[in-house]
A and B are shown apart, each in its own frame.
Chain A
């Protein structure tokens, strides 16, 4: 039986599924419901200092939907907690006492002054929580005040604040990174230099969801105006997964613990991040779309996967995919796949033909012997995968590796040994094969 117990920086939780710092973790009542539902831990919604911030009372969320109004992307303009610090601290303490086996990490965001950080860390320590997460990520609202992403976009600030925090507390310090930068490795390196115990990523992406064409205003509309918000949900997972991999591959940050965030919706998403090196995952949008019960599917799915593969704990497969992430230039140019259409599964929608014909390589028939039939023309197929991902029937179109014979498209033999761009004759900068 898979053992899902998680140990991240010494913070223990019964499973690797934490709720990210966000609206679901703003108050005792929500977090208690989450723990009852089975969540392994939470990162409490970001605390600030001074007077509580004020949120808009107009719409705070926008979304894009896929088929059947399935939410695939969410954005928000909600700020950090708008409740008094004292109440939050009392509730954090209470919940941690009530649920000692669950992870309780507290997210923080105060102005970039050492006394502010020192002061709030002392207050938070009194709650007996398990650690803190520094919110250097929110791209909206708070960033206009020099906090959130405004800090996360300047590696020197990240390093400075992380160092202050490590100086003023013994609690584990996680730095939450913003994806609104050009290269995620720089803020991650800064966090490490500042002494952070871990990074968590990604925070949300700056975004405008759509335009209300009646009001000619960004949507959601707050009394005739709109502003950019933070984008999250299933649509951002690929961006997050790449950033997690980048940090995992970087010589300077390799081995830095990562709590992965970004569109985790099912056990598979979580397994992807763990395979890419993450120690655990944080979830928000999926809970905000379906409620807390989804953790049951995550627990059951991850357990089943691990049982099938023979992994006892998540450490057994953590990071296994990371060494396979490489640069394009090292991909094997002699590896050849051809699309193959299972005629028994084909329902003759013809979309593979249509997209290949219009936008790719004209490699799929629409007619064979005068009959509607969709067959791959190996002499044209470049193995691009477009047909397979367009096909509405799972496993109907597969990409079959070619090992014997000659490629009718290129005239080359299949199964030639590995060769990449670095040694290719067309590459002006090619090195001699070693």
Chain B
């Protein structure tokens, strides 16, 4: 049995009970009573600001009123008709910057209605019921390929199936779900929720899944265009930014945070997953927080996030930063890595230049320090990899991602795109769901001429 103080990268630092406790639901679901009490706080606003703030425009006042009147399944249907991944969004949405920030009770009392937890309450009841509230209309005979089985692709596929089209989802990995399955922090989607939600979505029928198919490998977008009436691309961000420091690819213990989180999410036994004693995370986004908090929860003794600018500029929300800090993660700001320190092929520390903002530009301020580390996570952004998108016509890009119009049409006829791989996105699950839904509606109108 290891301990939090065991040197180096070790598995089994904690007791089985610790792992269970650390990776249980971070927000306990509302009980029936709590849901009633909370639902009755909703004012049923006119042209509700919460609904306006939701990227998928869920009719929040209506679903909360349905909960209050004892109609949980009706509430779930209201939610899912706007956002088929409403269950996952209830768990991962940054509600504090979306619906709950807009809630008039936030304005009035600083205590918004707990919209996210109410949404989870309703969708959980529907998932428990095992019912698929949506039915397919008569088959249109049209075939659509959806490339990428993440939130955008699943949302698109479900809506298309509902509208009567035959859908095939091509997924590079062995499982559908995308970041819901491989990226979200484990304590936000417990009890295999991502796969249960995938099963729920597929239960509408009319969707064929082909796993192990990736563009540029065994999938050709030009051929897809020929075989299908329409193609939706929702491949996400397959690449990560690199530090560009010597030793990044050679020193053991320097790890891509995205890859590590995927490994963690797929681990059958977390006590077998090794983590360092002294962990340093470089980055300031959600991935940095997720890997830092989960390292701590795996038993790392010391975890430090180092971000080159100030806390206000971190892409991780204030809520996520707070979560990191209350989980025992240290956040250090205004420092950027300049070298990786190693010995015997293993990383032993990271040296940082202290930084400051001068005239709006970030510059080294002269100071320098080295943090000891046996594990260094890089979490400085994911990037779109356009491999395999170049068929007969290349999809136009914008700022390195696929360019789309308001209906999520790409520059190439009969190809739509959505989710993190498109330009101008918010890199949020809920935004990806909306992309998929809008693309499906656009595809439907285009194919049916309606």
Could you say which interface size class chain B belongs to?
10 to 19
Against B, the Cβ 8 Å flags (1 = close, 0 = not) of A65-82 are: 001110000000000000
Q: Does B37 contact A (CB under 8 A)?
A: yes
Cβ of B287 to closest chain A Cβ, rounded Å: 35
What residues of chain A lie closer than 8 Å to B36, measured between beta carbons? 68-69
- Taking Cβ atoms with an 8 Å cutoff, the residues of A that contact B are 67-69, 347-351, 353-354, 366, 372, 392-393
Cβ A348 vs Cβ B37 within 8 A: no
Cβ A351 vs Cβ B46 within 8 A: yes
Cβ A349 vs Cβ B40 within 8 A: no
What residues of chain A lie closer than 8 Å to B105, measured between beta carbons? 347
Nearest A residue to B33, CB-CB: A69
Among B40, B43, B44, B104, point to the contact of A68 (Cβ < 8 A): B40
Cβ B44 vs Cβ A348 within 8 A: no
Cβ B46 vs Cβ A68 within 8 A: no
Q: Does B238 contact A (CB under 8 A)?
A: no
Among B40, B49, B104, B107, point to the contact of A67 (Cβ < 8 A): B40
A347 to B104 alpha-carbon distance, docked (Å): 6
Cβ of B418 to closest chain A Cβ, rounded Å: 29
Show 12 A/B contacts (Cβ-Cβ < 8 Å), sorted by A: A68-B36, A68-B40, A347-B104, A348-B45, A348-B107, A349-B104, A350-B47, A351-B43, A351-B44, A354-B46, A392-B43, A392-B108
What residues of chain B lie closer than 8 Å to A67, measured between beta carbons? 40
Cβ B45 vs Cβ A351 within 8 A: yes
What residues of chain B lie closer than 8 Å to A347, measured between beta carbons? 104-105, 107-108
What residues of chain B lie closer than 8 Å to A351, measured between beta carbons? 43-46
Cβ A348 vs Cβ B43 within 8 A: no
- Taking Cβ atoms with an 8 Å cutoff, the residues of B that contact A are 36-37, 40, 43-49, 104-105, 107-108
What residues of chain A lie closer than 8 Å to B47, measured between beta carbons? 350, 366, 372
Cβ of B216 to closest chain A Cβ, rounded Å: 47
A351 to B49 alpha-carbon distance, docked (Å): 12
Q: Knowing A67-B40, A68-B37, A68-B40 are in contact, say whether A366-B104 is a contact too (CB < 8 A).
A: no
Nearest A residue to B47, CB-CB: A350
Nearest A residue to B46, CB-CB: A350
Given contacts A350-B45, A351-B46, 17 further A-B contacts (CB under 8 A): A67-B40, A68-B36, A68-B37, A68-B40, A347-B107, A348-B45, A348-B107, A349-B43, A350-B46, A350-B47, A351-B43, A351-B44, A351-B45, A372-B47, A372-B49, A392-B43, A393-B108
Cβ of A230 to closest chain B Cβ, rounded Å: 26
What residues of chain B lie closer than 8 Å to A349, measured between beta carbons? 43, 45-46, 104
A69 to B70 alpha-carbon distance, docked (Å): 13
A347 to B103 alpha-carbon distance, docked (Å): 9
Cβ of B112 to closest chain A Cβ, rounded Å: 11
Cβ of A255 to closest chain B Cβ, rounded Å: 45
Q: Which of A348, A349, A353, A372 is packed against the most chain B CB atoms within 10 Å?
A: A349
A68 to B105 alpha-carbon distance, docked (Å): 17
A245 to B3 alpha-carbon distance, docked (Å): 79
Q: Which of A69, A372, A392, A393 is packed against the most chain B CB atoms within 10 Å?
A: A392
Q: Which of B36, B43, B105, B107 is packed against the most chain A CB atoms within 10 Å?
A: B43
Q: Which of B36, B47, B48, B49 is packed against the most chain A CB atoms within 10 Å?
A: B47
A108 to B339 alpha-carbon distance, docked (Å): 95
What residues of chain A lie closer than 8 Å to B107, measured between beta carbons? 347-348
A68 to B41 alpha-carbon distance, docked (Å): 9
Nearest A residue to B105, CB-CB: A347
A350 to B61 alpha-carbon distance, docked (Å): 12
A195 to B132 alpha-carbon distance, docked (Å): 71
Cβ B104 vs Cβ A348 within 8 A: yes
Cβ of A221 to closest chain B Cβ, rounded Å: 18
